Amino acid sequence: VVSGPYKYIATPKDEPAFVPLEMDEEMTPEEILKNHKTGEKYAHLIDKFDKYPLIIDKDEQVLSMPPIINGELTKLKEDTTNIIVDVTGTDERAVEQSLNILCASFAEVGGKVKSMEVIYEDETIVCPDFTPKVRNVHVDLTNELIGGTELTAEDIKGLLEKARFDANIINDNELEVLIPPYRVDILHEVDIVENITIQYHINAVEAKLPDIVTVASEDNWFKGEKTIREVMVGLGFQEVMSLMLTSEESQYKKMNQEEIDHVQVSKPITISGTMIRTSLLNSLMEFLEDNKHEDLPQKIFEIGDVLYMDEKSANKTRQVKKLAGMICHSSANFTEIKSTVSSVLSNLGYSMEISDSTNASFIPGRVADVSGESKSGKITGFFGEIAPEVIRNFELEYPVIAFEIEFL
């Protein structure tokens, strides 16, 4: 049992010891960062500091070590009825918004949300703060942006209420809108108009052709993409779509690859989005890691863009289309992935030539480079059995085979 007041403190690395979540023995904060799986994963967030953060109750019991791990003491169980929601971070606005969204979600499913006072050295705040933000919306702008409508202030008020916004009519052309605290996506009057349009129903808006004449046709690459998808789905694969942003940790270190020149993100918002990818394979490995609880075999593929540095290009980069596939099950082997690549290239009309490879992401002797050509162009790539250390880096338990093909 825990009880307030609760304190958010900075503590020495070697004290106090507490039982972290899903463990049965006490560990000091420093031991958690060095010896606990979750601690090792997120240690980089705080290990450069002399002291580490803890949340304790009035009896100095440790509830949490944010942002690393909670304590076993506050583990959620089937009979848990009261929970403490703590949100910590380096951006106060983001922390407040995250807390509002969480608490609103709990309230929506029947939970009773209580506010707490947070006492700083220079001020005391109450959170969560459910005071609605106020922004005005104009009738003429709404009709202009939607197009083909003659909505009145009363009409707009009704549509806003359907979207769960309270609104007060100021005059025939202006309304005051009260924005719920969990709607952190409302940044501009245009965002309010978007919600009005959704409630008005987009199909009710009269369709008008633009006052320009163009002749459009499908791009040849997109035609090729359709064929690739049909081939991969026909071979039993499921398509995934990942972000082009990744991290050096995932793209190179975890894949056992040497880092090459790449496009870096200036002032990245997250540690997982510090660069633009040069390969698709790490994204597929991350997908398997996130879905390792699903049944085997798992067969996934992705068609996507990567970006290389290229001094000859006007913008010093070169965008390349790639196809990657991955299979995970207990008996996945080189023969299976070779057969898959052969089937893919044959169905796409490419020849296939195989040569030795030393790709460090794969088991030596069980990896090969592949090249080929067809009427539409050339391809190059590689395939094989993913190395055990790479599999362990993504916390997988079964063999993984993969291929990646670049369309030249």
3-state secondary structure 134-191: EEEEEHHHHHHHHCCCCCCHHHHHHHHHHCCCEEEEEECCEEEEEECCCCCCCCCHHH
Question: Would you place residue 351 in the very low, low, confident or very high pLDDT band (cuts 50, 70, 90)?
Answer: very high
Cβ atoms of 385 and 374 closer than 8 Å = no
- Look at the block and give the residue holding tokens 């030393």: 358
Long-range contacts of 120-126 (CB under 8 A, 24+ apart): none
Cα separation, 393 vs 375, in Å, equals: 40
- So what's the pLDDT on residue 214? 77
pLDDT single digits (tens) 133-149: 999 999 999 998 888 78
Average pLDDT over every residue of 13-37? 88
Cβ atoms of 142 and 153 closer than 8 Å = no
Task: Give 307: exposed, middle or buried? Use CB within 10 Å, 0-12, 13-18, 19+.
Answer: middle
Q: Is the pLDDT of residue 210 over 80?
A: no
Q: Is the pLDDT of residue 382 over 90?
A: yes
Cβ atoms of 244 and 369 closer than 8 Å = no
Strands 238-239 and 298-309: parallel
pLDDT single digits (tens) 159-203: 999 999 999 999 999 999 999 989 988 989 999 999 999 998 877
Is pLDDT larger for residue 230 or for residue 90?
A: 230
Average pLDDT taken over every residue of the chain: 90
- Look at the block and give the residue holding tokens 């009704």: 158
Amino acid identity for residue 267 in this structure: K
- So what's the pLDDT on residue 300? 96
pLDDT single digits (tens) 76-126: 888 888 888 888 888 888 999 999 999 999 998 888 998 888 888 889 988
Task: Provide the 3-class DSSP secondary structure of residue 44.
Answer: helix
Cβ atoms of 340 and 346 closer than 8 Å = no
Q: Is the pLDDT of residue 313 over 80?
A: yes
In degrees and rounded to multiples of 5, residue 335 shows phi and psi of -60, -40
Q: Which pTM value belongs to this model?
A: 0.55
Cβ atoms of 320 and 407 closer than 8 Å = yes
Q: Is the pLDDT of residue 401 over 80?
A: yes
Beta-bridge partners for 326: 300, 402
Beta-bridge partners for 62: 56
Which domains are assigned to the chain?
A: 7-127 (3.50.40.10), 133-204 (3.30.56.10), 220-407 (3.30.930.10)
Cβ atoms of 130 and 100 closer than 8 Å = yes
Cα separation, 408 vs 171, in Å, equals: 61
